[in-house]
Amino acid sequence: MHQFPVWKSVTVIAVMLIGIVLALPNVFGESPALQMSRKDRAPFVEASISEFSALLGTAGIALETAHVDDGGRLWLRFAEVPAQLAARDLIQRQYEGQFAIATTFASRAPRWLTALGLEPMSLGLDLRGGIYLVYEVDVDGAVSQLVQVMERDLRKALRDARIQYEDVEARGTRISIRLRDTARREDAIAAVRRFDPALVLRDGTLPGELLTELTEDQVRQRQDFAIQQNITALNNRVNALGVAEPVVQRQGLNRIAVQLPGIQDASEVVRVLGKVATLEFRLVDPVNSPLEAERSGRAPLGMRLYKQRDGSPVLLRRDIIATGDQLVDASFAPAEGEPAVSVVLDSRGGEEMLRTTRENIGRPMAVVFIEKERELVERDGAKVVVDRSKEEVISVATIRGVFSSRFQITGLSAAEGQELAKLLRAGALAAPLYIVEQRLIGPSLGRDNIQRGYQALLIGMASLFVFMLVYYRVFGAVACVVLAANVILITALLSLFNAALTLPGIAGIVLTVGMAVDANILIFERIREELRNGSSPVASINAGFERAFSSIVDSNLTTLIAGIMLFAFGTGPIKGFAVVLNLGILTSMFTALVGSRALLHLIYGRRRRVERLAI
């Protein structure tokens, strides 16, 4: 009689039952849905369902189902993507930004499955549809921004040390300091050293000129910081747009890849994500004439010439009081009947604003709006990329009282104020971003990819089943059962770990099915060899599993190592393929070595004497 421990049989049954339950939500599929939460963080109540159902019904938008989850979020499910997008736009217009609305997909599984917290596996961008963007980070621009900030801080450090200077000017990675009194050279050097001991400091070409320069390590650190800060800012902006399951990750040395499943409106996403918008607060020059500076094309020393929104010139001091980088929070809040953005500065910005307003009551202060973009223009018959920076004064107001970290900005339209508040709240980009690749994948293409992948899996498995049944008979039927079990377990693990299934992931499943049958073939051929050598059927089964064990483990282990390396160093589709491959190796070893033997025990273990094997 073929012997097999009872506890192993129980383990196989338990694992398969759990796997079937975990994989079951994938049978029901998903529908386009809206996930809504209140911005005041209050939970939705069941009465809200009838309110939104009536609103959508009046607009002729068909709603499949609606429910409130345990977190107090409202889910609205639709049959098609157009209805989903139309409902989102209607709710946003009707309630004017009271809710955070994410376009996503909801499972059609019964409530008892969702009550257990079971969800279908996530689908990647190529299967669900959406937007794929690759941004290039202007790391040189990030270094220039750092130098400009250091220029401002060096001015303050010299003022605090009571050292007079002609000018402090940024030039690339250098800052030029021209002293009025050359006798204060050593004092200036000491002030710079206190400011940043790592700065390289040497004499300039002009009398009384000192040059400070960033070290290579500082430049490299700033470039890395710019990429990480931009990833954080993009994540915040994506969340503000209401995108479910986004992916924002670094790609190569200076690029960032953004995947937004389920999003089909590329224009709004591109405009908001890559927009470099920030603010600067500067004092207005009350002495010199801006018209004269505009006519001569030269601003007085320590001043810069700007344009206001009506086209009139205005002279502002070079010294910056505060920037958008020092903003802690920003919100759109109309004041006295006109649009306004309420801002909150950090402690450093608040202290500088407090000092400035205390010393300059009755004098005008300006708010400069800065926006950067990259354009493709044609020059001499060739297309070249040109960086453009738009700087304009959006507000000039007289300082009537002392304030520090909390105040309001006016001079914007309602739409501009809402967008500026959103961008500032999400965090300023540490460096400009430029799109180098943009792909829009429609939901119909995603469904077509799923269908083709599903067909490939079915045809591949059917071909394997026919081969195994013809060539190995009953043992081939056992292999077919464990192959089906292998696919169920892979699906269950992908659902359990919420790993995104991509088109390469489907290829990984098909490949894993083909690889999984190898283990069964090795075992079956060992059993055949034992039978040819005259061993009894039961002894042949035992010997086949025992002698094939080391070969199966070794071959799968080497493939697993390769899969781990793909996961560790790959990105995007490669990582998705590696996840499925690694999970498939683990499940195929379990089903081939344990599941097959359990089934053979079920077939032959009850017999007191086995005369022959159907192999």
Please compute the mean of the pLDDT values over residues 30-46 and round it to a whole number.
80
Q: How confident is the model at residue 3 (pLDDT cuts 50, 70, 90)?
A: low
Of residues 487 and 601, the one with the higher pLDDT is 487
Mean pLDDT of the chain: 82
Domain shared by 288 and 397, yes or no? yes
Q: Please identify, among 421, 439, 457, the residue that sits at the C-terminal boundary of a domain.
A: 439
Question: Residue 485's pLDDT band (boundaries 50, 70, 90)?
Answer: very high
For the chain, how many structural domains are there in total? 4
Whether residue 612 lies inside any domain: the answer is no
In this model, does residue 419 exceed pLDDT 90? no
Would you say residue 253 lies in a domain?
yes
pLDDT at 252: 78
Instruction: Tell me the two tokens of residue 546.
Output: 């025992």
CB 516 within 8 A of CB 462: no
Domain co-membership, 470 together with 412: no
Given 274, 299, 331, the domain boundary residue is: 274
Report pLDDT for 375.
60
Q: CA-CA distance, 344 to 346, in Å (whole number)? A: 7
Q: What is the pLDDT of residue 427?
A: 59
Residue 536 lies in a domain: yes
Q: Is residue 348 scored above 50 in pLDDT?
A: yes
Strands 99-107 and 130-137: unpaired
Crossing angle for the helix pair 573-590 and 537-569, nearest 10 degrees? Answer: 160
pLDDT band at 340 (very low <50, low <70, confident <90, very high): confident
Specify whether 74 is located in the same domain as 140: no
pLDDT at 467 over 50: yes
Q: Does 486 share its domain with 413? A: no
| Within a domain: 114 | no
Does 561 score more than 90 pLDDT?
Answer: yes
Any idea what the CATH number is for the domain that residue 394 is in? 3.30.1360.200
**Is the model's pLDDT at 2 over the cut of 60?**
no
Which range among 36-40, 226-230, 588-592 shows the weakest confidence by mean pLDDT? 36-40
Q: Which pLDDT value is given to residue 488?
A: 92
Rounded to two decimals, the pTM is 0.62
Residue 98 has pLDDT above 80, yes or no: no
Of residues 19 and 430, the one with the higher pLDDT is 19
Task: Look at residues 254, 274, 294 and tell me which one is the last residue of a structural domain.
Answer: 274
Statement to judge: residues 580 and 460 lie in one domain: yes
Mean pLDDT of the 417-425 span: 68
pLDDT-derived band at 565 (thresholds 50, 70, 90) equals very high
Q: Is pLDDT of 131 > 70? A: yes
Q: Are residues 151 and 297 in the same domain?
A: no
Mean pLDDT of the region 498-527? 85
Domain that holds residue 319: 276-439
Average pLDDT over residues 435-458: 78
**Amino acid (one-letter) located at 402:** V
Do 314 and 348 belong to one domain?
yes
**Looking at residue 266, what is its pLDDT?**
64
Residue 1 has pLDDT above 50, yes or no: no
pLDDT: is 378 or 54 the higher one? 54
Q: In this structure, are 135 and 266 located in the same domain?
A: yes
Whether residue 530 sits in one domain with residue 481:
yes
CA atoms of 341 and 416, how far apart (whole Å): 10
With 80 as the cut, is the pLDDT of residue 162 above it? yes
Q: What pairs with residue 313 in β-bridges?
A: 307
What average pLDDT does this structure show over 452-472?
87
Distance between CA atoms of residues 87 and 106, nearest Å: 15
> In this structure, are 222 and 287 located in the same domain?
no
More confident residue, 605 or 95: 95
The mean pLDDT value for 582-605 works out to 86
Structural contact between residues 532 and 606, judged by C-beta atoms closer than 8 angstroms: no
The rounded percent of the chain whose pLDDT value lies above 70 is: 88
| Residue 84 neighbours by CB under 8 Å, 6+ apart | 32, 33, 34, 78, 103
> Cα–Cα distance between 517 and 35 in angstroms, integer?
42
| pLDDT confidence bin for 387, thresholds 50/70/90 | low
pLDDT in tens, 196-221: 887 888 887 778 888 888 888 888 88
| Residue 520, in any domain of the structure | yes
pLDDT category at 386 given cuts 50, 70, 90 is low
Q: Which residue has the higher pLDDT, 556 or 141?
A: 556
The domain spanning residue 558 has which CATH number?
1.20.1640.10
Helix (H, G, I), strand (E, B) or coil at 606: coil
- Arithmetic mean of pLDDT, 116-132: 79
Residues 394-406: tens digit of each pLDDT: 888 888 788 888 8
Q: What are the pLDDT digits (tens) for 57-73? A: 989 998 888 888 777 88
- Regarding whether 376 and 456 lie in a shared domain, the answer is no
Residues 509, 583 within the same domain: yes
Q: Quick check: 265 pLDDT over 80?
A: no
Per-residue H/E/C for 100-141 = EEEEEEEECCCHHHHHCCCCCCCECHHHHCEEEEEEEECHHH
Residue 428 pLDDT more than 90? no
